[in-house]
Amino acid sequence: MCQDLNIRDTFAIYTFLPNKISTYQHTERIFQGKPLHSPAPAITLLMMSSGTVQVTDHREMLNGDKLVLRGLKFHGYHGVKPEERKLGQKFLIDVDAWMDLRVAGNSDNLSDTISYTAIYRIVKEVVEGASQNLLESVAQLIASTILSNYHQVSAVRVQVGKPHVAVQGPVDYLGVEITRYRSVDMQS
């Protein structure tokens, strides 16, 4: 997933997104001609103070082990409209937390993993806590709290949905989905 490469004359942080052709050409030079052919989120090169570059391939990270929480339902007071903040509404939350689960799988010991209930509590505290205007803020608070509290988590995906929205037409819910990476979003 991560490897250090000595690359001379590199003085910036680059994030390579799959839809940028010029990015692929630069990436191919760095990876010695091995092109990337995946609609994955990104590859990040981070210049370290030692002069090495840390390469993180998020595609590999998102294919690994993860804790999965689906269909969490809470009543919260988020939104830009006064009635949303006064009356509140139901929110639907899904969370994926990527981490290595091999040790827990072999030991069958809860202390070798993160309890689902710990992540559930974080989501509950955020959604039922202080009002936010945007679902993006709710999702960001959940993701950043999980990454801050659990160093074992390398990435987290949070989906926040509102099933009761004022739109003309039937919908299950409208919402946002974010993915945050420890290697990118938790740099000091």
- Whether 162 is catalytic is yes
State the distance between the two ends of the chain, measured CA to CA, in whole angstroms. 20
Q: What is the C-alpha to C-alpha distance for residues 120 and 128, in angstroms, rounded to an integer?
A: 12
Q: Which amino acid is at 158?
A: V
Among 20, 81, 90, 162, the active-site one is: 162
Strand positions, DSSP E, 77-168: 89-98, 155-162
Helix (H) or strand (E) holding 3: strand 2-5
Which residues are CB-neighbours of 112 under 8 A, at least 6 positions away?
Answer: 103, 104
Residues with a known catalytic role: 162
